[in-house]
Amino acid sequence: MASQSILNAHLAKTLSKGSVAVTQPAGCPEVSLYLFDPAALEGPISHEEAQAVVAEPAYWSFCWASGQVLAAYILEHPELVRGKTVLDFGSGSGVVAIAAARAGAREAIACDIDPAALDAANANASLNDVSITLCDDWQQPPGDIDLLTAADVLYDPENRSLLAEFRQAVPRVLLADSRLKTLGDGAYQHRLTREARTWPDLHEFEEFNRVRIYLAG
């Protein structure tokens, strides 16, 4: 399949033995995704490959806990996106944008600065028989945005300023995070806490498997 070959080529840039396979994340099994296939690794990776993976990780080849929970939440509450233009910031695999499209969004935009992630989102959208728009700059979207979604984008302290930037740029923000116990921004109202694990499982600290959903606006 052409889409799978394209993603395997992206993955091979950092992990020569790596490949993707179709799977359904446990936290949102309604969405099928091309994700990293642990079975493809035969034996340990080389030191050079390990360094490359750390330096330029293929984030799009994993479905992170917050992305799963946010996608599932949207499917459970389609009224949040129905008829709206939704931009998913840092879309990675595209799971949230795909969920928005399936839940009835007028337009679902997968936005990521990584061209490989945009290829992944496009391939995964096709896998789920939905149409999404691709974007590489959230501040220059293809149109007016009704709702911005974001999952696990606050892992770097320098990214905390995004909370205010999002609110200033769009009417509503739907955010999922597993890194901060409190956001420090009262405009974001806590809606839900749910457990999930990165898929495939990276055996992260248990505290990072507890995802909180917030809504602002």
Q: pTM score, two decimals?
A: 0.92
How far apart (Å, rounded) are the C-alpha atoms in residues 103 and 76?
9
Specify the pLDDT at position 49: 58
Quick one: 93 and 44 in the same domain? no
End-of-domain residue from the set 44, 61, 78: 61
Quick one: 75 and 140 in the same domain? yes
Quick one: 70 and 39 in the same domain? no
How far apart (Å, rounded) are the C-alpha atoms in residues 202 and 191?
26
Please determine, for residue 190, whether its predicted confidence score (pLDDT) is greater than 70.
yes
Quick one: 157 and 183 in the same domain? yes
Tell me which residue range forms the domain holding 131.
65-196+203-216
Q: What is the pLDDT of residues 116-137, one digit of tens each?
A: 999 999 999 999 999 999 999 9
Q: What is the pLDDT of residues 22-35, one digit of tens each?
A: 999 999 999 999 99
Specify the pLDDT at position 214: 98
Please determine, for residue 50, whether its predicted confidence score (pLDDT) is greater than 60.
no
Number of domains in the chain: 2
End-of-domain residue from the set 18, 35, 61: 61
Give the number of other CB atoms < 10 A from CB of residue 189: 10
